[in-house]
Amino acid sequence: MRLSMEKIKGFLLDITGVLYESGSDGGKAIEGSVAAVQRLRDNGYAVRFVSNESQTTREGIMNKLKKHGFQMIKEEIFTPCPAVLKIVRERDLRPFLIVHPDVLPDFEGIGTSNPNCVILGDAVGDFTYENLNKAFRILVGQEKPLLYSLGKGKFYRENDHLTLDVGPFTAALEYACGAEATVVGKPNPEFFLTAVRDLNLQPNEVVMVGDDIESDVGGAQACGIKGILVRTGKYRPENEQHLIKPFAVVNNLAAAVDFVCRL
Amino acid sequence: MRLSMEKIKGFLLDITGVLYESGSDGGKAIEGSVAAVQRLRDNGYAVRFVSNESQTTREGIMNKLKKHGFQMIKEEIFTPCPAVLKIVRERDLRPFLIVHPDVLPDFEGIGTSNPNCVILGDAVGDFTYENLNKAFRILVGQEKPLLYSLGKGKFYRENDHLTLDVGPFTAALEYACGAEATVVGKPNPEFFLTAVRDLNLQPNEVVMVGDDIESDVGGAQACGIKGILVRTGKYRPENEQHLIKPFAVVNNLAAAVDFVCRL
């Protein structure tokens, strides 16, 4: 046990539900999380923030977190928007976008007329019947429907209630078209591994801390990263009966850092 | 072949895409369908109309079809709304309704405060982010989420374009809750068999004519009814490569009647 544990050199941290709880008022930091991130840095652990957040640009996320007292630079944040933009540019695609208005700046300069694919993010109020129908009509006309989903989260907690995430709307279009979306973001292994490569580490030297048993813990463990589940954010007690077994289940990020530092 | 065919004594007919094409202007009868239904009656075949229509009450459907020249009585029409009402009354449920405003009269007198189940019909403009979130919050709080879906159609054709049906929205809530909906309507065998019993016939004496390879043809054949696929409505050529193999594929309802009358 000790032998394998001494190798942990880097942390991937989910943001919402781990660093802070989101809310229409900007949310609030989870107790102990600001100090926990600082402690990681002080102890020489490399840190990246790996989030399926698609309501805000990386800059917006960074600014929000700085207000809560977290220290970071934009380049440490990994979100699905830059990842899908890379695909769009490489494949010269013209997407129909169902995304949050706040991330539209990321897509500036991308041609969207006569669309030949659909990108679905956490669009919140833009998850309209009309938009979903438009997306469906593009996809159903394609031999191999090109649907990119920015994460496939089921729901998240906001303002003390659970809210549908992008995943259910992706599932709706998948069912309608009889096709499978390409998930850009967690739990896609390539997304985790991009962050691991950026750390200059191997997957088994890294811990992923998240509140989503499937997307965070399951996704990380599927590519050899150890997954720690925290009892904050969208965590629910039945997650501990899930088929996916985390490396550890702890009360919050501070406890996760404690746990790893003591190994 | 002839032996088994001589037994056909009754027809179950899908409505939208078989009798008429829907549209915001009331739609239009499919060429030959009015005469085809009359021919069935003249030749002594018993007829029932089996539809997943949940935008209109049975009375509304009857009135619309009569305007197009079809003859029928309300009691010949089988739709999911009366079927789900029966369940709600038997189990004393208090549903949260995401249904078309035009079918709300069907639910008069049903208690909906402090809801303990969700009924999802073809709500069209009422498929809002807000309504889906409300439904999700009811379901996610239940140990065994009670979600009733009025049919599970993927899409239908309206005003010359394809439109999302109730199925994708059901799939969204199923994915979000990790639970399976109870489908009331086609392809639920009980729904077909209720109509067959009303005909006083056995399933193998009955033909189902529909434009949906899965819901109409697959559903019927799963309970011993012969399924005929018509090339009208939502039919698409690739349906003929589907794993479900209809008893026959014909151009329209008139051709289906021809086909059976000549057996």
Same domain, B75 and B123: no
Categorize the per-residue pLDDT at B263 as very low, low, confident or very high, splitting at 50, 70 and 90: confident
pLDDT tens digits for A133-189? 999 999 998 999 999 999 999 998 887 789 999 999 999 999 999 999 999 999 999
**Facing residues of A93 across strands?**
none
Could you read off the pLDDT of B41-82 as tens digits, one per residue? Answer: 999 999 999 999 999 999 999 999 999 999 999 999 999 999
Spatial distance between the Cα atoms of B216 and B222, rounded to a whole number of angstroms: 10
- Check: CB of residue B107 under 8 Å from CB of residue B97: yes
Q: Provide the β-strand partners of residue B20.
A: B16, B29
User: Amino acid identity of B81?
Assistant: C
Q: What residues of chain B lie within 8 A of the CB of A214, using their CB?
A: none
Contact present, A18 and A233 (Cβ < 8 Å): yes
Token reading at A107? 């897509």
CATH of the domain at A174: 3.40.50.1000
Residue from A227, A22, A13, A54 nearest A153 by CA: A54
Domain count for chain A, please give it: 2
Pick from B256, B183, B261: nearest CA to B219: B183
Q: Round to whole Å and give the CA distance between A146 and A181.
A: 7
Residue A199 lies in a domain: yes
Per the model's pLDDT, the better-predicted residue between B157 and A71 turns out to be: A71
Verify whether the Cβ–Cβ distance B133 to A176 is below 8 Å: no
Low-confidence stretches of chain A (pLDDT < 70) are 1-6
A171 part of a folded domain? yes
Alpha-carbon dihedral A188, A190, A194, A199, rounded to 10 degrees: 80
Asked if A73 and A111 sit in the same domain, the reply is: no
C-alpha to C-alpha distance for A117 and A95, rounded to whole angstroms? 5
Closest partner CB to A175 (pick from B124, B127, B167): B167
* Residues A96, A155 within the same domain: yes
Q: What is the pLDDT of residue B17?
A: 94
Instruction: Give CA torsion, residues A180, A174, A23, B135, to 10 deg.
Output: -140
Based on C-alpha coordinates, what's the Rg of chain A?
A: 18
Residues of B in contact with A156 (CB under 8 A): none
B219-260 confidence digits (pLDDT tens): 999 999 999 999 999 999 999 999 999 999 999 999 999 999
Give Dmax (Cα) for chain A: 57
Q: B29 with B113, same domain? A: no
Whether residues A161 and A173 share a domain: the answer is yes
Distance of CA B182 to the CA centre of its chain: 15
Rounded distance between C-alpha atoms, residue B66 and residue B76, angstroms: 13
**∠ at Cα A246 (A244, A252), nearest 5°?**
130
Question: Does the pLDDT of residue B109 top 90, yes or no?
Answer: yes
Chain CA centroid to CA A170, Å: 15
Q: Are residues A113 and A144 in the same domain?
A: yes
Give how far the C-alpha of residue B134 lies from the chain's centroid of Cα atoms, to the nearest Å.
26
Element (H, E) at A175: helix A166-177
In angstroms, the CA B97 to CA A181 distance is: 29
Among the three residues B184, B202, B230, which one is the final residue of a domain in this structure?
B184
Q: Which residues of A touch B (CB under 8 A)?
A: 124-125, 127-129, 132-133, 136-137, 140, 154-155, 161-164, 167-169, 171-176, 178
Q: Classify residue A124: in a domain, yes or no.
A: yes
| A53 in a structural domain | yes
> pLDDT (tens digit, 9 = 90+) per residue, B21-47?
987 787 899 999 999 999 999 999 999
Residues whose CB falls within 8 Å of the CB of residue B144, separated by 6 or more in sequence, listed in order: B179
Which of B184, B210, B242 terminates a domain? The answer is B184
- Among B89, B135, B133, B90, which Cα is nearest to B116's? B135
Q: Is residue A108 part of a domain?
A: yes
In whole angstroms, give the CA distance from residue B171 to residue B164.
Answer: 12
B119 and B132 in one domain?
A: yes
Establish if A87 belongs to a structural domain.
Answer: no
Domain extent for A217:
2-79+187-261
Q: How far is B162 from chain A (nearest CA, A)?
A: 7
Q: What pLDDT is recorded for position B6?
A: 52
Chain A contact set for B101 (CB, 8 A): none
In a shared domain, residues B168 and B241: no
Instruction: Tell whether A201 is covered by a domain.
Output: yes
The residues with which A108 forms a beta bridge, in sequence order, are: none
| Cα A193 from chain centre | 13
Start-to-end CA distance of chain A, whole Å, equals 9
Please indicate, yes or no, whether residues B98 and B179 belong to a single structural domain of this protein. yes
> B238 in helix, strand or coil?
helix
Judgement on whether residues A123 and A206 belong to the same structural domain of the protein: no
Domain boundary among A132, A150, A184: A184
Q: Report the pLDDT value the prediction gives residue B3, as an integer from 0 to 100.
A: 46
- Same domain, residue pair B75 and B197: yes
Answer yes or no: do B141 and B164 share one domain.
yes
Candidates A124, A137, A162; nearest CB to B136: A162
Rounded distance, CA B52 to CA B165, Å?
Answer: 10
Is ipTM beyond 0.95? no
